[in-house]
Amino acid sequence: MKNEELVQRFVDQELSAEERIQFVVALGRDQALRERVLALEQLVLDATKLPRPLVPEGFAARVLERTAAAKPAAPALRRTGTWGRLIDALWAPRALQWNLAGAAAVACVALIAVGAVVATGVRRPVASVADAPPAGSGRAQAPVVLVRLVVVQPDARVVQAAGDFNGWNPSRTPLEQTADGAWTVTLPLEPGRYEYQFVVDGDRWIGDPFAVEQSNDGFGSRNAVLDVRLAEASL
Amino acid sequence: MLISRHAPSVFSVTTRMLGPAADAEDVAQDTFVSAYKALPRFQFESKFSTWLYRIAVNKCTDVLRARRPGHVSLDSPEGEEMAAWPAVDDDTPHEELERIELASELERGIQALPPLYRESFVLKHVEGLGYDEMSDILGVPRDTLKMRVYKARTLLCRSLSHLAGVR
């Protein structure tokens, strides 16, 4: 195999173990090759470090303004069967489609989520002010409320949450698996309004159709809404 | 929101394909509006982000085709074009300044690449995608993409060779 092809496959990290040995031997014998590989590796490293251009302020609002005036194309297919009709009814405004397995999983999610809310005795997943850290030494902190998110995804390998509370970065909020395929995380949140979704296996974003409140983002997707408030006793 | 989640990636691609001019935001907006209109037809055969990238790249290609060679937008003088990139001020530490200058050189090098090499390089090394996903986005065979990325890397190494001592 020619050195040049090895170089490119090395940079792409596609060499087999044997090829890597062959390549390292070639590097040891050829200074020009070493310099070329170093330059390529540096280029790739620099490219990965390039800062993302800043999204202009008001970008999302301008898109929403334009999408509000546009109607999406008619759905190509309607679902059939009991679950399909149920999900269509629940998600009429939502353009993203669910398959039947996904629909069953979402129904389980909803049941468990409702159960969790009932068990904590609040209308929404909002904990009492007793969960707030005590006032004491150190700088003053805003009171926080512990909010538990629960989702059932028995076949998932990884479940994360993304929302206003973590900059929509799912890697910051992994859920822990519990029994029966449930996943959960407890978040300390300051009072406020938070939108969120769950992310299953890194690339499947799912909402919570049974959330007390949902937000249509004007883009065919629905986010669950958490309205985090302190208990009345603290007010 | 879906827009907030994907805007940085879409805007990154449109900016690097078209340059940090007004076109880039227009095309990024067009990408989301087109996706919104076509959303009911999205069948989850690919990742949603892959689908958005595909729309964005196609729209960039349309704009680039419409531009004459050497076209410079009258709406975006050179000074304003750089406004989207991180600002530099007198308090910026020396190392940070070097890093920003290096990034600017690389950005200029990327802008100078032929469009087909540019889109492949940006998706591969700036956005960090694999060749399979790139193939889905661009509708081009893997081996062709690898050749384009190879050419892009070679051209960029050549154009940035004067910075070898700085890095």
Structure tokens at A3: 């050195």
Q: What is the mean pLDDT of residues A87-113?
A: 39
* CATH match for B88-167 among 3.40.50.740, 1.10.10.10, 3.40.50.11030, 3.20.20.70: 1.10.10.10
Is it the case that residue A42 has pLDDT exceeding 80?
Answer: yes
Whether B11 and A46 lie within 8 Å, measured CB to CB: no
What are the structural domain ranges in chain B?
A: 1-84, 88-167
**What's the confidence (pLDDT) of residue B127?**
93
**What's the confidence (pLDDT) of residue A167?**
76
- Cα A94 from Cα A85, distance rounded (Å): 14
Residues in chain A: 235
Structure tokens at A167: 């900059």
- Contact at 8 Å (CB) between B131 and B145? yes
Across the interface, of B37, B84, B125, the residue whose CB is closest to A47 is B125
pTM of the model: 0.55
- Contact at 8 Å (CB) between A146 and A187? yes
B50 or A134, which is more confident?
Answer: B50
Poorest-pLDDT segment among A36-50, A135-149, B24-38: A135-149
Is it the case that residue A220 has pLDDT exceeding 70?
Answer: no
Q: What is the mean pLDDT of residues B99-125?
A: 91
Poorest-pLDDT segment among A131-140, A149-158, B117-126, B127-136: A131-140
ipTM computed for the complex: 0.78
Distance of CA A129 to the CA centre of its chain: 28
Contacts of A216 in chain B (CB under 8 A): none
Angle (nearest 5°) at CA A119 between A113 and A125: 55
Q: Report yes or no: A134 at the B interface, CB cutoff 8 Å.
A: no
Q: At what angle do helices A3-11 and A31-49 cross, to 10 degrees?
A: 30
**What's the confidence (pLDDT) of residue A87?**
38
Q: Report yes or no: A62 at the B interface, CB cutoff 8 Å.
A: yes
- Contact at 8 Å (CB) between B159 and B113? no
- Cα A170 from Cα A163, distance rounded (Å): 8
Whether B156 and A43 lie within 8 Å, measured CB to CB: yes
Q: What is the mean pLDDT of residues B41-61?
A: 84
- Cα A122 from Cα A74, distance rounded (Å): 40
Q: What is the mean pLDDT of residues A86-106?
A: 39
Q: Which is it for the CA torsion A137, A139, A144, A150, positive or negative?
A: negative
Q: What is the mean pLDDT of residues A110-128?
A: 37
Q: How confident is the model at residue A108 (pLDDT cuts 50, 70, 90)?
A: very low
Q: Which residue has the tokens 């990965």?
A: A48
Q: How far is A235 from chain B (nearest CA, A)?
A: 31
> Which percentage of chain B shows pLDDT scores above 90?
49
Level-2 CATH architecture, domain A100-234: Sandwich (2.60)
Q: What is the mean pLDDT of residues A57-73?
A: 78
Across the interface, of B2, B126, B150, the residue whose CB is closest to A50 is B126
Using CA coordinates, name the residue in chain A closest to B82: A53
What are the structural domain ranges in chain A?
A: 3-49, 100-234
Contacts of A51 in chain B (CB under 8 A): 85-86, 103
Q: How far is A138 from chain B (nearest CA, A)?
A: 31
**What's the confidence (pLDDT) of residue B56?**
94
Whether B102 and A46 lie within 8 Å, measured CB to CB: yes
Using CA coordinates, name the residue in chain B closest to A204: B47
**Best-predicted range by mean pLDDT among A87-91, A118-122, B48-52?**
B48-52
Structure tokens at B80: 């304003």
Distance of CA A69 to the CA centre of its chain: 28
- Contact at 8 Å (CB) between A50 and B130? no
**What's the confidence (pLDDT) of residue A56?**
87
**What's the confidence (pLDDT) of residue A85?**
44
> Which percentage of chain B shows pLDDT scores above 70?
77
Across the interface, of B5, B149, B164, the residue whose CB is closest to A39 is B164
B99 or A51, which is more confident?
Answer: A51
Is it the case that residue B125 has pLDDT exceeding 50?
Answer: yes
Poorest-pLDDT segment among A89-98, A146-155, B144-153: A89-98
For B20-42, b/e burial (b = at least 16 CB within 10 A) is bbebbbebbbbbbbbbbbebbeb
- Contact at 8 Å (CB) between A152 and A105? yes
- Contact at 8 Å (CB) between A230 and A190? no
Q: Which fold has domain B1-84?
A: Rna Polymerase Sigma Factor; Chain: A (1.10.1740)
**Chain A residues 8-47 with a CB less than 8 Å from chain B:** 8, 11-12, 36, 39-40, 42-44, 46-47
Q: How far is B58 from chain A (nearest CA, A)?
A: 18
* DSSP alpha helix (H) spans, A96-145: 100-120
Residues in chain B: 167
**What's the confidence (pLDDT) of residue A227?**
82
pLDDT digits (tens, 9 = 90+) for B80-106: 333 344 454 555 566 777 777 888 899
